[in-house]
Structure 1
């Protein structure tokens, strides 16, 4: 077994064991170069036949997963040999498998099972569409991981195979009895095993859906799957028909593709006869006097109208419940309700946008007790877009929201450009915006960004945004945020600070007419931008001409600091997420303010600012490394400019700088700070008195070298 702390291939550090099977052990690991969590599956090669079979399965799994790109399927990242073991490095899938979860809850809700069925069918459809097709062959609850966001991941591809259309039979019977299709198993000698294909996976999925919606394990007595309404009469007859068709013994009687199955799951209520039956009974007398064609038309209209009304009411209820949960800061519950809403009605954009915003807001909420991963939420929506559920892939509002989120929140400009490119350019609300964002995203996604082209595009967008969008439109101020972020990134480019100052000053003026609850957040963003812009203008000014811009920068930095202290506890040494981001911004702003005071010749204010930051962060807070190192460097440079040799510094100066040095030395990680390293030997010399002693010796030597006064003149004068 691998020990904690073992590093594979110089980069994969083993953190702890998280699972164990018959011949393999799974560990949580970290890629130290990329600072990301991974899973490592270790198989010890003891030369046995069973291990040989496992290794073949492992090799098969690696070869399959290295080529996949689907949100429900994890990636194989690397294969590493370590002594007598082989280690497979793969995506770490957080959560627990459905088999374990079933032991806790008994069974899952029908709505949840249908959504998981859609996700899993989508993954199987993807595998079946590969060249050559991949047949998974081992769908079961223990191979489906339930993630914290409510989505699922398919794991363990050891029994999967590439499908050769010329192959008439599998050479090995693989799968799990109870979930496996009849064609996967023969008699004890393997006779009667037939070709497995996409319909085999459909059977496996049907058996899995049966288990998780009824709680009845097909591996246990009486070893059969009965119609699900015999287990729970409240379940949908539509879902019952779908599972029955999936699990037909004859492959020709099943759904013939995952596309067919996905369509059925999306429209399962249309297979449900309860509503139509109720109205059919009421219309029995009427049916005697009306032709069957008219009767069925009425039934269809009544049924559809009733279902549509019920769906609309349920959709609105899910949205309202999601809003309530979000207001209370219960983001996971809110996301779940919004997801139920768009699962019910995939055509309306509101549920999708609220679902994505919930992940964004949770990430930015300093007091959130949830831990939602934005990537997981985006993957759920991306999967539905990819599979075209209810034409959501043509919904410009949803596509624009996806592009904007990848652009602003994730920084994946390639993905952003993809979704902006899918927006209908003629859409009056999102067409023009998507064109601007898309063109900027394409430039930013390039390996070598053409800065001049980028700034031209940004300037054009800024002009459009200022004149075409009204001040009551939140999107206008999101656009200003994006523009400001890009300007600040390229302030070293000639002309950009001046352009940025004009645009962001207009942004502040326009924001005064905006009454949204998030106005303060926009002010924070714009103030941060303007602080950097005026600092850049001051730095680029001719000698003596930067004072006014330095002072403007100081004002904006102070505004930002005040806002941060109203949002976050800057003394929290263990902060993470957005709280840590705010604290880092506080530190950067305080250091920049101290730097400006120094450049303006106000030594006392510079020192006061450093000390204020140190006091706010608290003693021993490792987040303060930058503050102490810059404080030390500032004092050293300042004292050196007045009295070059540290040995000649006054006792007051030595005491002041050593106090900073001693306090800073208590911070974890400060010993690797370049400024600290640069000044350490001198500080140690001041601390132990060796520099002062050396200075005294130097002074004594200088006096010894001077000519002695002989008093000859006196003697001569006396003679």
Structure 2
């Protein structure tokens, strides 16, 4: 039976089939209320193992809340069949990417591996018993268009008690499954089981060689590709040891080595061993130097003060040039000479935070948080161990990234702040918000969360706090409204109102240079996008045009900041002009949309949606001309480019194919192309 066109709950319209597995079929669905897209997984109620496995997967996914694991947002039973509405992952699996493009660069693979480690570490620590995924392989690792890694298909994931034999069927994919997963093996599964599959997956992505079943297993990647580094070879070989005791003990250990991959050479490891031997000799020698060293103490302190000032000024100069990487490096150096000054750490933290939402915003923010946590806040040897001022700033960023693990860190820091009588009434609001963010979607209390967001906004409006704190609070509230639009009242309108308040603070702080707020561009982008999304959902055409105009006003602010828009945002900007034209018929808006689509393709030449919309705009532009003045050559050329892109790209989403279908029909109706 063809389910395309079926509408569930008068809201989710099944557009096209995305794939079919042994027990289920996945469809792309359009949300008729919000205009967004979801994946819909369907399984027939046959009462057998498939249904039980499906329900088990749904139950497990519903208990998880991680940015790189698809969320379940709705469940529907209709006509004896079960449907689950979940995040649509718009991307390509790494398995298909290797088949289409060949082996991937080590630089990219290490970046993806670091993201995957974070996901696996979450699965292994989110519950009392670790969730063992059991089927980690390139086909289940998705690379999104924003460059994020997403883990899909939790059909055989289970919670495993440490040291217990798993009595179920031997499951997994040959070559990627760990030796203990095979029939007749130990079947004692733990974190190291997934670590084996992780190493086997990296091996395939880097070499294109499908791993063999143990005992032949995974060979050294440098045998196939000698240009690969010693570091990546060492990590993979340690992951895929037949004996689990010889593998990494956790993904935290894997991640540490990935971060230090350039040091994992044979000469470096020998050097470390020699250092250990020489440590005891050098310690004795240092004792002999102690007495004369004391006499130079005051001179050393003066020199430290000079060095601190030098690097601090270097950092300040780099900030003025917007060279944040150099600023961060100099702040670290200044900290070495005066580790007791809290201000320097806060400036260092701010310099590490991303300024643009280029797809890596959350990852870079998490990296900055982790550096502050691991190096200072939670390092008992640091001068900033459990420092409340740093804990307060890091806590707010932990809530902002909207990840259950980081929400847990936020709650820990809130407890620390309360224990130390940190004077801030807003902690109660952050505590409620963080508590909700630490839960899975099914158990979050959005009514309480919305109330807390409103109260935090009122507090921020009416309390004398710094410009930076005001902006951080406004931006945090905006992000949460944008993450869960279906659960809040008028979320897009609220984002716009908050954006207006934030802009007033920013405009009032520019000349006095009061604020170091790092997210001005993401905040403006969020506001422009929210206004566009609001316009799409409005039926009243006059109000719709007003929202589109407001959206373009905010895109204008971004132009003033020389922001390079993402492909998605640029499409919204160009379509705002086009959609205004469709309402008021003023050709100047259509002409402007054409220019925007042309400019977009100059920066993103592979944008299929951009090419489709440009072809549609060219066509509409020609149709406004008198019959004897029409020249469809440019429109037809643009259409042919879109058609060629469709032919060459087998990874297009259902939504993109639907766009092309509408374009083709418009050209057929205009008599420019023939129906076939």
Q: TM-score, normalised by structure 2?
A: 0.52
Taking the TM superposition and a 5 Å limit, the aligned residue runs for 1:371-410 are: 372=359, 377-378=361-362, 381-382=365-366, 385=369, 390-391=374-375, 400=393, 403=396
Q: 2:512 & 2:46 partners in 1: Cα distance?
A: 73
Is 1:199–1:256's contact at 8 Å kept on the other side of the alignment? yes
Residue 585 of structure 2 is matched in structure 1 by: 619
Q: 2:122 & 2:37 partners in 1: Cα distance?
A: 26
Q: Pick from 460, 463, 471 the counterpart of residue 463 of structure 2.
A: 460
Residue 257 of structure 1 is matched in structure 2 by: 250
Residue 213 of structure 1 is matched in structure 2 by: 206
Taking the TM superposition and a 5 Å limit, the aligned residue runs for 1:383-462 are: 385=369, 390-391=374-375, 400=393, 403=396, 418=410, 447-448=450-451, 458-461=461-464
Residue 20 of structure 1 is matched in structure 2 by: 20
Displacement after TM superposition at 1:56 (Å): 3.2
Residue 293 of structure 1 is matched in structure 2 by: 278
Number of corresponding residues: 454
Is 1:349–1:397's contact at 8 Å kept on the other side of the alignment? no
Displacement after TM superposition at 1:451 (Å): 8.2
Deviations 1:268-301 (A, max 9, x none): 3443224677999xxxxxx9xx997279989xxx
Displacement after TM superposition at 1:161 (Å): 1.8
Is 1:97–1:146's contact at 8 Å kept on the other side of the alignment? yes
Residue 93 of structure 1 is matched in structure 2 by: 89
Residue 487 of structure 2 is matched in structure 1 by: none
Instruction: Summarize the Cα distance change of 1:113–1:508 in structure 2 as closer, same or farther, 3 Å threshold.
Output: closer
Residue 233 of structure 1 is matched in structure 2 by: 226
Taking the TM superposition and a 5 Å limit, the aligned residue runs for 1:140-155 are: 140-155=137-152
Is 2:195–2:251's contact at 8 Å kept on the other side of the alignment? yes
RMSD (CA atoms): 6.0
Residue 656 of structure 1 is matched in structure 2 by: none
Displacement after TM superposition at 1:457 (Å): 5.6
Instruction: Summarize the Cα distance change of 1:402–1:31 in structure 2 as closer, same or farther, 3 Å threshold.
Output: farther
Deviations 1:361-408 (A, max 9, x none): x6xxxxxxxxx5xxx73266448847988548769889848847977x
Q: TM-score, normalised by structure 1?
A: 0.49
Instruction: Summarize the Cα distance change of 1:201–1:3 in structure 2 as closer, same or farther, 3 Å threshold.
Output: same
Note the residue ranges of structure 1 that are not aligned, 5 or more in a row.
281-286, 299-315, 327-333, 363-371, 466-473, 486-502, 529-559, 570-574, 587-613, 625-719
Q: 1:562 & 1:162 partners in 2: Cα distance?
A: 49
Instruction: Summarize the Cα distance change of 1:508–1:436 in structure 2 as closer, same or farther, 3 Å threshold.
Output: farther
Displacement after TM superposition at 1:446 (Å): 5.5
Is 1:61–1:158's contact at 8 Å kept on the other side of the alignment? yes
Taking the TM superposition and a 5 Å limit, the aligned residue runs for 1:142-221 are: 142-165=139-162, 167-186=164-183, 191-192=184-185, 194-219=187-212
Relative contact order, CA 8 A, sep 6+: which one is greater? Answer: 2
SS across alignment from 1:356: coil
SS across alignment from 1:264: helix
Taking the TM superposition and a 5 Å limit, the aligned residue runs for 1:632-651 are: none
Instruction: Summarize the Cα distance change of 1:57–1:277 in structure 2 as closer, same or farther, 3 Å threshold.
Output: same
Is 1:151–1:380's contact at 8 Å kept on the other side of the alignment? no
Is 1:349–1:398's contact at 8 Å kept on the other side of the alignment? no
SS across alignment from 2:463: helix
Q: 1:104 & 1:349 partners in 2: Cα distance?
A: 45
Is 1:140–1:205's contact at 8 Å kept on the other side of the alignment? yes
Q: 1:61 & 1:377 partners in 2: Cα distance?
A: 30
Q: 2:116 & 2:462 partners in 1: Cα distance?
A: 45
Residue 75 of structure 1 is matched in structure 2 by: 71
Instruction: Summarize the Cα distance change of 1:269–1:562 in structure 2 as closer, same or farther, 3 Å threshold.
Output: closer
Displacement after TM superposition at 1:138 (Å): 0.6
Q: 2:411 & 2:190 partners in 1: Cα distance?
A: 34
Q: Pick from 78, 101, 104 the counterpart of residue 105 of structure 1.
A: 101
Q: 2:374 & 2:281 partners in 1: Cα distance?
A: 25
Deviations 1:238-292 (A, max 9, x none): 3322222211112222223333333333333443224677999xxxxxx9xx997
Instruction: Summarize the Cα distance change of 1:103–1:415 in structure 2 as closer, same or farther, 3 Å threshold.
Output: same
Displacement after TM superposition at 1:213 (Å): 2.4
Is 2:395–2:409's contact at 8 Å kept on the other side of the alignment? no
Note the residue ranges of structure 2 that are not aligned, 5 or more in a row.
284-314, 333-344, 379-383, 434-447, 479-501, 528-549, 560-566, 591-676
Q: 1:269 & 1:505 partners in 2: Cα distance?
A: 46
Residue 599 of structure 2 is matched in structure 1 by: none
Is 2:44–2:51's contact at 8 Å kept on the other side of the alignment? no
Instruction: Summarize the Cα distance change of 1:215–1:398 in structure 2 as closer, same or farther, 3 Å threshold.
Output: farther
Is 1:60–1:157's contact at 8 Å kept on the other side of the alignment? no
Deviations 1:183-216 (A, max 9, x none): 1113xxxx34532222211111111122122332
Residue 119 of structure 1 is matched in structure 2 by: 115
SS across alignment from 1:153: strand
